[in-house]
A = this chain, B = another copy of it.
Amino acid sequence: MKKIINPKRIIWRKFTKRPNINLKELDDTVNKVFNAVKENGDEALKKFTLLYDKTVVNNFRISEHELIVAGENLAAELKDAINLAKNNIEKFHVSQKTRKKIVETTNGVECWQESRPIEKVGLYIPGGSAPLFSTVLMLGVPAVISGCKEITLCTPPNKNGDIHPAILYTANLIGIKNVFKVGGIQSIAAMTFGTETVPKVYKIFGPGNRFVTAAKQTAFMNGVAIDMPAGPSELLILADKTTNPSFVAADLLSQAEHGKDSQVICVVNNLELMTAIENEVEKQLNELPRKNIAEVSIQNSQLIYFDKKKDIIDFINEYAPEHFILSVQKEDENYYIGNLNNAGSVFIGKYTPESAGDYASGTNHTLPTNGYAKTYGGINLDSFNKKISFQRISKKGISNIGSVIEIMAEAESLQAHKNAITIRLKSIKNETN
């Protein structure tokens, strides 16, 4: 890890900068796939599945039978674990439901909001080396709780044309019936336009490599909403002398093993701790099966010492980490939480590792990376709903605010807007005369 002591604000950019992701260079590939899928539907999906996933898939839809039997060969303890995680994720996301709150803004004028689910949503579950069934929970549970009517799940097949049973088991557990064996750009295109087999959706969720990220941007340009833009995963830890350096090192490495481009930053206010963490990282790194990946991202990572609390919180807000572990003495926690503006998910205290939120505490692990925590929150129940506003105005209400509307509409030169009021006020006046 690189060690930096009290860096001046003017060079903070050096440390908060993210790797450049040039998605423009993928435009040609993405456009080619989108056009083909739009034109040729399932045929194009077959072609690109052969090209990119190196396997022949003739039927993209996973049958109900496959979904039901998927768990048969999974270890019972894994199924129990997935069940417990599901319950926690459910509890937390159910708690995010909001109640209708009617506000009388003027006597006789009632306003409120109501949530309604987005009817057709698409969930993308990456394939690759590991079966990310945890992401099925993170996207699927809030979609099901929200009552989205048509939930479409796409995930790429492996070279044998299969999907890992843990993914199918999890999908079935939470009640997702529409699972498709298709991934990459072609699956995002399929959910954008719809094919003979894969339904068109209104919003696409889920992580993915830069091809999937570029494809989601193109989906957006074609009128489909997306959860958020994406980049490599990140973790910032703030630790003081009350932490345990071996815990901090383990957390840094858990982030570093994601990929060579993972971002890891550790901020401390104590120089001895700095050395202790560095030594622990070195020690634990050597025992990791994914050492070759973690090593690269650890080399690019920073251990930063600051004297002042104000510098620390300003630096964190400037970086806007996806994951933020706050492991400091109790009496300092409120300062950092209260002044925190930008972060995806926060882990408070030394017994709260990022892994907990990745799997089972109940919070969502689909979070804003790449500095987008300045603008976007992670996925929550709201992500699968939209709020409709309602108003109900009585005769009294329109009598109270009518003239205000008339004056404003006239000043904006919108005579018919004014008329809609005038005609009602006149009618009320005639009635009462």
A interface, CB within 8 angstroms of B? 77-78, 80-82, 84-85, 87-88, 91-92, 95-96, 98, 101, 103, 105-106, 109, 111, 113, 116-120, 129-134, 166, 202-203, 217, 220-221, 223, 225, 229, 244, 246-247, 250-251, 253-254, 256-258, 284, 288-290, 294, 337, 340-364, 368, 372-378, 380, 382, 385-395, 397-398, 401, 403-405, 407-409, 411-421, 423-424, 427-428
**Is the beta-carbon distance between B225 and A217 smaller than 8 angstroms?**
no
* CA of A304 to CA of B210, assembled, Å: 47
B378 pairs with A421, CB closer than 8 A: no
Q: Tell me, in angstroms, the Cα distance from A55 to B15 when the chains sit together.
A: 43
- Pairs A–B under 8 Å by Cβ, sample size 17: A92-B111, A111-B361, A111-B363, A133-B411, A202-B374, A202-B375, A220-B220, A246-B423, A250-B423, A257-B417, A349-B393, A351-B397, A351-B398, A353-B420, A361-B391, A375-B386, A378-B387
Determine how close the nearest CB of chain B comes to the CB of A417; give it in whole angstroms: 4
Task: Tell which of B166, B346, B375 touches A391, judged by Cβ atoms closer than 8 Å.
Answer: B346
Of all chain B residues, the one with the shortest Cβ separation from A201 is B375
For A120, the closest partner residue in chain B by CB is: B374
Which of chain B's residues has its CB closest to A220's CB?
Answer: B220
Which single member of B103, B244, B343, B362 contacts A103 (CB below 8 Å)? B362
- Please state if B289 and A360 are interface contacts (CB–CB under 8 Å): no
Among B78, B101, B398, contact of A356 (Cβ-Cβ < 8 Å):
B398
- Partner of A257 from B351, B380, B397, B414 at Cβ < 8 Å: B414
Is the Cβ of B341 less than 8 Å from the Cβ of A412?
no
Partner pick for A389 among B363, B382, B409, CB 8 A cutoff: B363
For the complex formed by this chain, how many copies does it contain in all?
2
A388 touches B343 (CB 8 A): yes
Which 6 A-B residue pairs are closest in the complex by CB-CB distance? A105-B362, A377-B386, A88-B105, A377-B387, A353-B420, A81-B407
In the complex, A352 Cα to B363 Cα: how many Å?
41
CB distance from A310 to the nearest CB of B (A): 16
Considering the complex, give the chain B residue whose CB is closest to the CB of A396: B351
Interface centre among A258, A340, A349, A424 (most CB of B within 10 A): A424
B380/A386 in contact, CB under 8 A: no
Q: How far is the CA of A393 from the CA of B85 in the complex (A)?
A: 15
Chain B residues with Cβ below 8 Å from A346 are 388-391
Contact residues in B for A355 (Cβ distance below 8 Å): 405, 409, 417-418, 420-421
Contact between chains at A88 and B401 (CB < 8 Å): yes
Provided the pairs A105-B361, A360-B405, A412-B134 are in contact, do residues A420 and B354 lie with their beta carbons within 8 angstroms? yes
Q: Which residues of B contact A290 (CB under 8 A)?
A: 413-416
In the complex, which residue of chain B has the Cβ closest to the Cβ of A87? B105
B408 touches A85 (CB 8 A): yes
- A380 / chain B contacts, CB cutoff of 8 Å: 113, 387, 389
A288 touches B415 (CB 8 A): yes
Partner of A360, one of B116, B244, B344, B408: B408
Residues of chain B contacted by A401 (CB below 8 angstroms)? 84, 88, 356, 360-361
Question: How far apart are the CA atoms of A293 and B278 in the complex, in Å?
Answer: 71
Q: How far is the CA of A417 from the CA of B109 in the complex (A)?
A: 54
Which partner residue on chain B sits nearest A400 by CB separation? Answer: B84
